[in-house]
Amino acid sequence: MSDRTIILASRNKKKTEEVADLLAAVGFKVIPVTEFPDVPDVVEDGDTFAANAAKKATEVATALGQWTIGEDSGLRVDALKGAPGIYSARYSGEGATDEKNNAKLLKELADVPDEKRGAGYVCSVALSNPAGEVRIAVEGTCRGRILQERRGEGGFGYDPYFLIREYHKSFGELSLLTKQRISHRARAFSKFIPELLRISPEFQ
Report, as residue numbers or ranges, the catalytic residues.
Answer: 72
Closest CA to 163 of 109, 114, 94: 114
Q: Which amino acid, residue 167?
A: Y
* Residues annotated within a binding site: 10-15, 72-73, 156-159, 179, 184-185
* Residues annotated within a binding site for substrate: 10-15, 73, 156-159, 179, 184-185
* Residues annotated within a binding site for Mg(2+): 72
Residues whose CB falls within 8 Å of the CB of residue 34, separated by 6 or more in sequence, listed in order: 11, 16
Q: Where are the beta strands (DSSP E) in the chain?
A: 5-8, 29-32, 68-77, 118-128, 134-146, 162-164, 169-170
Beta bridge partners of 141: 122
**21 DSSP 8-state letter:** H
Distances (CA, A) of 170 to 53, 72, 87, 126: 26, 21, 21, 27
Q: Which amino acid, residue 180?
A: Q
Residues whose CB falls within 8 Å of the CB of residue 112, separated by 6 or more in sequence, listed in order: 79
